[in-house]
Each structure stands twice: as C-alpha cells, then as structure tokens.
A and B are shown apart, each in its own frame.
Chain A
Amino acid sequence: MDYFLSEEQEMIVETARQIADERIIPARAELDEKHEFPRAILNEMARADLFAVPIPEEYGGFGGGCIDNVLALEQLGRGCVGVGTAFAANILGIYPIMIAGSDEMKNRYLPDVATGKKFAAFGLTEANAGSDASGIRTTAVLDGDEWVINGTKQWITNGGEAQIYTVVAITDRSRGPRGASMFVIEEGDPGFTCGPKEKKMGIRASSTTELIFKDCRIPKDRLIGRAGTGFITVMKTLDSSRPGIAALGLGLAQGALDEAASYAKQRIQFGKPIISFQAVQHLLADMAIQLEAARALVYGAARHIDAHPKDMSKVSSMCKVYATDMAMKVTTDAVQVMGGYGFMCEYPVEKMMRDAKILQIYEGTNQIQRNVIGQELNKEYARN
C-alpha cells in the first residue's frame, strides 16, 4: 500500500533497507548464536546518519519525528530485532534529554549521539519495579555539588555498550511518584558498573545487563529537568518510543511473511507447490491482512503523535499492542507454514518467533498498555 511518504522519508527507508539487506541479514544468525553485540553494523548505521534521524537539527540531527523513526526501525526490524533493539534503545536513552534536558545538556550529549560517537541506554526497570514503577529503590541524594546514587537497575538494553545512561532514581520518597528524578550517568563515573550480559530467549544481538550504583557520585548538573519530574519524563519518553517497538514488530512480521511465502512457492508436496493449497493460502492471507492493518495503524499513530495530541499515550499504546501481538502471531504462523524446516535453526523463522516474544513484554507489557488505553477511555467517557 502507498502511505504517501515524503522524498526524505523514502531516503530513510532506502538507507535502512540497504543496511538491513547488506549488513544485518547476512550477519544475524551468527550474532544470535554468539550473543554478539553488532558494533560494526551500528557504526555503519551511524555513518549513514540513521542515528541523527530523531535528533533536532540544532544538535546535528535531521529533526525527524516519530514517523521517520518508525520507518527506519521497521526496516531494521525486518533484518534483525536484536540489532533493531540496540538501535531503538539508543534513541530511548536520549529521549529524556530531548524531552526535559536543558539546552546546555542537549549540546553536551546530542551531537555525539547523532554522529554515533556515543551510544545511549535508558534505565528504569529494577528487580521489584517492572510494570509497577513505584517499586523503584534506587536513590539519589544531593551532597554539596554532587548527587550520590545507590541501587541496581535490571535488564537494561545496551548496558555495558553505552557511554550515556539516563536513569530514574528517587530523590524524595515521601512525595511518591513526584519524588522521582532522572539523571545522566556516564560510562566511567566513579561507583558505576555494569553487570554481566544476560542470556536471553531472543534478541541475542542486543546487550542486556544490570546497572550497579554504589555511592556513585555525579556532578549536580546531570539532573535532567527539575527534581521530582522523573516520572513525567519517563511517561513522555515511553509515549514517544513505543511506536518504534511497534515498528520493529512490523518489520519482523514482514520478514517472516517474506520467508514463509517464498518457501511455500518452492516447497513441493503432493506434486504441487504448497502455496497452491487453500490451507496454506489462508494462513498466508491472514498474515498479510494483519500485517497491513498493523502498518496502517502504526504509521497513522506515528503521524498523529507528531502533532503532539492530548491522547498521545493512548494512541502510542494502541499501536504498540496491536503490532507486537500481530508480530507474535505472524512469526508463529510463518513457522507453521514452513513445518519442520521452520523449526530448524538453519532457517530464519525460528529466530523470528523467539525475537517476537520480547516485543509483547518490553517498554511496558501489552497488558500494561491495555491498562493505559482502558484508563484513558474511562477518562474520555467521563467527560461526555
């Protein structure tokens, strides 16, 4: 379908597609098998200016919106969701700075991220604070001109690979959600270390570690925005980033459909290609219908979000839920179309099915997204 992309948007798609086809797809099976971080591929993306897409022009970026980021991530996700996740988490890591940081802070960090010289990560989740962010135990205490941070963040994407970490810590426990603040932690800050890489079911090319703070001291000016605005910044960050996860789902499902359909054309059973059997055609047709419906929703949501609407959270959650549930379904059906071959590691669809699962979990589980949508509906209908 024609989504009426601008010339610049076509360029973004073409660039990301070339990187997916020429760099990511030939490497993805090995990266997955070895749990290897795709440093060389990310360097190539940086050189091609993909990191600059969402960064404002005054900080060396392209000033692209949610839709531009979605277009890039869709292509990267078609290549490998592990690699796409490393890319997406970098942007997630700088959203708090772009949303709430001072001009001085933006000047200090954003140009280096736009060129790929520095890489970012976002630290919210802890052992007892996943869906329930009020369980955060990490604290930050002002001591003279320095903040002193203590606590441990868990399952942080790009942990150990990033140079810039935007992290949530409690600065005033008595104030509840209004007592959380966000900080920039840099690689090498005293008292800050990353744990070992976690072993995962999927997205193995991405790095996932703990962030450990033991009396970590950072300068006072690393506070993002004002103290107490941390949760608001987190919510705005996730509202901006979730369509990117939806886009990874689109790309992943497209890749799975491509594999399944071309296999079905070649695979001969009962003397005919299996795509000539109605049972297989219906599976493929349903995959294509769900994918295109999700794409229309994600692109529409991303363009809507770029207009900074009041119902941004709801729309962002809707597209994330729909596209990632779709990706799980479509990748599972791609394995079904390919039968025993689909289950074998020689073919890419088993990895696609493993990679799909995380999309329903991270950046807010799909159950939490439904809570957000339900609560927004409750508010909307109370007004009428």
Chain B
Amino acid sequence: MKIIVCVKQVPDAKDVRLDPITNTLAREGVQSIMNPYDQHALEEAVRLKDELGAEVVVLTMGPPQAGEVLRQAIACGADHGVLVSDRAFAGADTWATSYTLAQAVNTLGGADLILCGKQAIDGDTAQVGPGLAMRLDIPFVTCVQKVREADASGLVVERMMDDGYDVVAVDYPALLTVVKDLNIPRVPSLKGKMRAKKAVLQTLSAADVGADPALIGLAGSPTQVVRVFPPEPRGERTVLSGTLDEQVSELARRLSAYL
C-alpha cells in the first residue's frame, strides 16, 4: 500500500505581519512551519503505516527551502520526500497547483491513498485537495475528523459537518482532506530526526512531471489577485477578565451606563 501526503510550508501564524507597502504577507524573518492541518494528515498516514504496513511518501510543491518540511515529515515517520520545484511554478493559484500536483502524483506512479490538510493557513482556500482528486479522477472525502476502520481495500471515515458528521465508506484509490480533530501529531523521534538529516530528497521539475507550460505557474492560473488590503478595524473592543461572576457583573455595570 502506498500513501502520499501533500504538505505545504507556510509562515507561522503566531508570527504573521503584513508588509505595510504591498499589503502582502511579510515572509522575511518569519518562521516557516508545516501547515498545521497537514501535520494531522501526516500523523494519520504514519498511523496507517504502523497498522496496515504502507509506504508513506510526502509531497510538496514549493521553493527549495520547502525541503525543510519534507525532512520534518521524515522525522515524524514518512519514508520518502518529494519536492516539486521549478521557477515556472511561481504564481500558481489553486487551479495550477492541483494540476501540477496531479502530474507529480502520476509521475510517482499514483497512490492508494492521498491525504491532505483541509486547507493551508496562509491561503485558506481548501481547494487544492478536492482539485487534486478531480484531476486524478478519484473519489475524495473532505474534513475527515476520524478514521473508523481501515484495511487494505478502503476506509470508513467520519466527515465533519456543521450539524454533526457523516459516516463515509470509500475504496482506494481515494483522497481525504483532514481536520485537526483527527489525531494528535507525534513529537518527532531522535531516530527520525537523524534519518531526516541524512535523507536524500527527490526533486521534480516541471519537465520531470511532464507539465504543459501553459497550465502551470502564473500562465496556468485563472485567478487574478486584484488588490490585497487589511480590513478596516472594527472599533475598540475590551476583553473582560476575572471569574465568570466578576465578568457578568462588570458587563452589567458597563451596560447600565447606557440605560
């Protein structure tokens, strides 16, 4: 069995600043991390590997420094890291990204199961996972909060909904996007970190994945970002502290001023 986990390197949300001139995310000097949702996808893949026996391949598209998240994934138990990297991919939106990742998955010989985080915390689109499944023409289940059963032919999972959850049975090949309720990601082991340090990552270029130049990067991206701006501040807010009773009486006192 082969599992591919798609991960993305993102700026740490604890440390986000906007460039005051361009209004885009200031990435310089900001710590990069593996997208938190992807950490849960990876953890589930490693658990399935422990349970069923599987090869776990971790896949990312990004600049060369995105190799760091592949090494982090190997430290957590992934077997192999693949970096899809080419200047021609720059400016890709979710349409072009899902095309590029699908080409990479096919180049790697496909997978029984593909796991993705629900969304990345920088773009927040939640489109790449489903987009990738559509490109590969395989079934997908989004927002998976629990894997109930897993065997060599398929899975039974819970899909988080606004008003509860659905129970979905799906056969391989399939793609899941996952939410944080799914599991608690492990602390990478010392042996894993040493393996990660020595691991040789596979790098794939646009040519390696047989990508059509018209469908990748800025050229392949129908989305145009017209303007980026910070929303207007919503006025002054106060957070009350103390015990619940103290907070309630303080709130009542403040409201009484308006009566």
Query: Which A residues are within 8 Å of any B CB, using their own CB?
Result: 7-8, 11-12, 15, 18-19, 22-23, 44, 47-50, 52-53, 62
Cα–Cα distance between A226 and B101 once the two chains are bound (Å):
64
Q: How far is the CB of A117 from chain B (nearest CB, A)?
A: 15
Main secondary structure, interface of A, reads helix
B187 touches A44 (CB 8 A): yes
Question: B163-178, CB under 8 A of A: which get 1 and which 0?
Answer: 0000000000000000
- Does the CB pair A49–B189 fall under 8 Å? yes
Known: A15-B188, A18-B187, A62-B190. 11 other contacts (CB 8 A): A18-B188, A19-B187, A23-B187, A44-B187, A48-B186, A48-B187, A48-B189, A48-B190, A49-B189, A49-B192, A52-B191
A124 to chain B, nearest CB (A): 30
For the complex, is B161 an interface residue (Cβ under 8 Å from A)? no
- A8–B197 CA distance with the chains assembled, in angstroms: 11
The 6 closest A-B pairs by CB, nearest first: A49-B190, A49-B189, A48-B187, A48-B189, A11-B193, A18-B187
Q: Which residues of A contact B240 (CB under 8 A)?
A: none
Which of A18, A19, A22, A49 has most B Cβ within 10 Å? A49
Taking a contact as CB atoms under 8 Å apart, the answer to whether B186 and A44 are in contact is yes
The A/B interface has a contact count, at CB < 8 Å, of 35
* Cβ-closest chain B residue relative to A17: B187
Q: Judging by beta carbons under 8 Å apart, are A52 and B190 in contact?
A: yes
Chain A, residue nearest B197 (CB): A7
**Contacts A/B (CB < 8 Å), 30 sampled:** A11-B193, A11-B194, A12-B190, A15-B187, A15-B188, A15-B189, A15-B190, A15-B193, A18-B187, A18-B188, A19-B187, A22-B187, A23-B187, A44-B186, A44-B187, A47-B187, A47-B189, A48-B186, A48-B187, A48-B188, A48-B189, A49-B189, A49-B190, A49-B191, A49-B192, A50-B190, A52-B190, A52-B191, A53-B190, A62-B190
For B190, the closest partner residue in chain A by CB is A49
Q: Tally chain B residues at the interface, Cβ within 8 Å.
A: 10
Closest to A40 in B: B184
Closest partner residue, chain B, to A52 (CB atom): B190
Taking the closest CB of chain A, its distance from the CB of B185, in whole angstroms, is 9
**Residues of A contacting B189 with CB < 8 Å?**
15, 47-49
Give Cα A13–Cα B194 distance, bound, in whole angstroms: 14
A22, closest chain B residue (CB): B187
Q: Which residue of B lies closest to A18 (CB)?
A: B187
Nearest A residue to B185 by beta-carbon distance? A22
Cα(A38)–Cα(B204), bound, Å: 45
List A contacts of B186 (CB < 8 A).
44, 47-48
Query: B194 contacts which chain A residues (CB < 8 A)?
Result: 8, 11
- A210 vs B188: C-alpha distance when bound (angstroms): 36
Note all chain B residues with C-beta closer than 8 A to A18.
187-188
The distance in angstroms between the C-alpha atoms of A23 and B189, with both chains bound, is: 15
Roughly how many angstroms separate A62 CA and B188 CA in the complex, as a whole number? 16
In the complex, what's the smallest C-beta–C-beta distance from B75 to chain A, in angstroms?
9
In the complex, chain A residues whose CB is within 8 Å of the CB of B197: 7
- Report the minimal beta-carbon distance from A266 to chain B, rounded to whole angstroms: 12
Query: Which residue of chain A has the shortest Cβ distance to B186 in the bound complex?
Result: A47
Residues of B within 8 A of A48 (CB): 186-190
